[in-house]
């Protein structure tokens, strides 16, 4: 069953703060949930579907549904795939709505990694993910944990391999950060609201060679939420709703150690989403692309078909990610590289900025004119090992 046109995003909200030292994690979830419901003109009493991931405290949807006072839920989903969880949630909510399981789905993200760390997570120790700590280790941990893998090391390996295979230069990777900063300077809420140069990126210290500090995302508190509704609810709300046209998802595994580091799971999730939507990458003028690191963007735009494999470095270096100047405006809020990366996972913020763009509510300096279609893609996990990619295609209401 296709979800094409069978659900709409009616409300979105991004927490305005990047440091929140005075609130519990559940409070931040509540604040973004209420913000998104207010944006849609709905209330908690209207919600009959709830979606959350590993950033939610306690026992996920059980704890949070009680905290929110959601007493009439007919559908819950706690799918956890790291930063891409929220693209999956939108797709899963659209599927549930199409199947008649719910009509108003609330999806939330919140985290306090800058001021609160992980101390406010629940008894499950959610977020451990089998990375070698705690009693909830994955089956791969005994083979990988003794070697001390780190997230920076994993992304630097992918970066180095892309350079080896395709000749991608440090300057080209740095252009991703530069493009993001050209957008972030128009966002007063961005964590880094100023423009940087290629030289700034290259002169920033290595965090794991060849990965520079400014090739890396920011670490922020905050969160966001979105409301996915049935066409009937959307009709009552009005034209600010954004239609969900297509959804694709796919894990990428290590292939028993024979992993190719030069591509992401978007190689599969992207074509699935475009096919369901009935469009091609050439039809897309704006994309929200998960930007945990500059290498993530370079590989993803290749895998989604916006340029040939191996040509991502040239694509970004030519200014193609800059709104008003390039072929494909990307992350016009500044993205995870400059604006916001709450809970160390940025999928929800990618949905939010795509909705802003399709509504014509982005900052005037970065708004894509006459925008009809947008793509949203996120990866969750580690680019250098196992991860999940999820892609959405959205249409202006």
Whole-number average pLDDT of the chain: 94
Name the residue range of residue 208's domain.
149-218+245-395
Q: Quick one: pLDDT at residue 257?
A: 85
What is the rounded distance in angstroms from the CA atom of residue 341 to the CA atom of residue 333? Answer: 12
What is the rounded distance in angstroms from the CA atom of residue 316 to the CA atom of residue 283? Answer: 19
Q: Quick one: pLDDT at residue 125?
A: 40
Residue 210, preceding bond cis, omega within 30 degrees?
A: yes
Residue 54 has pLDDT above 90, yes or no: yes
pLDDT in tens, 88-107: 999 999 999 999 999 999 99
Same-domain check for residues 91 and 157: no
Q: Quick one: pLDDT at residue 353?
A: 98
pLDDT tier at 135 (50, 70, 90 boundaries)? low
CATH of the domain at 44: 3.40.47.10
Extract the tokens encoding 115: 């001021």
What is the rounded distance in angstroms from the CA atom of residue 135 to the CA atom of residue 159? Answer: 32
Residue 77 has pLDDT above 50, yes or no: yes
Please give the distance of CA 294 from its chain centroid, rounded to a whole number.
14
Read off the DSSP letter of residue 121: S
pLDDT tier at 369 (50, 70, 90 boundaries)? very high
Same-domain check for residues 15 and 162: no
Same-domain check for residues 286 and 379: yes
Read off the DSSP letter of residue 247: E
Buried b / exposed e across 222-237, counting CB within 10 Å, b at 16+? bbbbbbbbbbebbeeb
Q: Quick one: pLDDT at residue 131?
A: 35
pLDDT in tens, 200-240: 999 999 999 999 999 999 999 999 999 999 999 999 998 89
Q: Do 239 and 361 touch, CB atoms closer than 8 A? A: no
Same-domain check for residues 379 and 352: yes
Number of domains in the chain: 2
pLDDT tier at 128 (50, 70, 90 boundaries)? very low
């Amino acid at each position: 069953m296709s979800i094409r046109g069978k659900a709409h995003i009616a409300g979105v909200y991004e927490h305005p703060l990047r440091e929140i030292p005075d609130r519990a994690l559940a409070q931040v979830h509540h604040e973004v949930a209420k913000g998104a419901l207010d944006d849609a003109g709905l209330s908690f009493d209207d919600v009959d579907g709830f979606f959350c991931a590993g950033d939610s405290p306690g026992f996920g949807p059980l704890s949070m549904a009680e905290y929110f006072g959601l007493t009439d839920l007919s559908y819950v989903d706690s799918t956890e795939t790291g930063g891409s969880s929220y693209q999956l949630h939108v797709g899963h909510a659209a599927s549930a709505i199409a199947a008649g399981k719910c009509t108003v789905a609330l999806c939330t993200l919140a985290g306090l990694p800058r001021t609160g760390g992980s101390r406010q997570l629940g008894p499950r120790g959610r977020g451990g993910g089998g990375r070698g700590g705690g009693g909830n280790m994955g089956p791969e941990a005994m083979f990988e944990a003794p070697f001390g893998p780190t997230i920076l090391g994993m992304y630097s390996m992918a970066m180095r391999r892309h350079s080896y295979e395709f000749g991608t230069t440090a300057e080209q990777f740095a252009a991703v950060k530069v493009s993001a900063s050209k957008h972030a300077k128009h966002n007063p809420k961005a964590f880094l609201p100023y423009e940087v140069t290629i030289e700034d990126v290259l002169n920033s210290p290595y965090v794991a060679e060849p990965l520079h500090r400014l090739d890396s995302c920011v670490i922020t508190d905050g969160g966001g939420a979105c409301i996915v509704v049935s066409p009937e609810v959307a009709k009552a709300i009005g034209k600010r709703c954004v239609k969900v046209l297509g959804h694709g998802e796919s894990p990428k595994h290590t292939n028993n150690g024979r992993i190719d580091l030069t591509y992401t799971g978007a190689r599969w999730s992207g074509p699935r989403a475009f096919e369901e939507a009935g469009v091609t990458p050439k039809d897309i003028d704006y994309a929200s692309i998960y930007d945990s690191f500059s290498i993530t963007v370079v590989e993803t735009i290749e895998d989604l078909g916006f340029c040939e494999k191996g040509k991502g470095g040239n694509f970004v270096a030519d200014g193609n990610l800059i709104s008003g100047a390039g072929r494909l405006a990307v992350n016009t809020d500044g993205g995870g590289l400059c604006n916001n990366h709450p809970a160390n996972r940025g999928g929800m913020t990618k949905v939010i900025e795509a909705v802003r763009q399709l509504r014509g509510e982005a900052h005037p300096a970065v708004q894509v004119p006459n925008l009809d279609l947008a793509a949203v893609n996120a990866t969750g996990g580690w680019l250098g090992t196992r991860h999940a990619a999820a892609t959405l295609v959205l249409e202006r209401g």
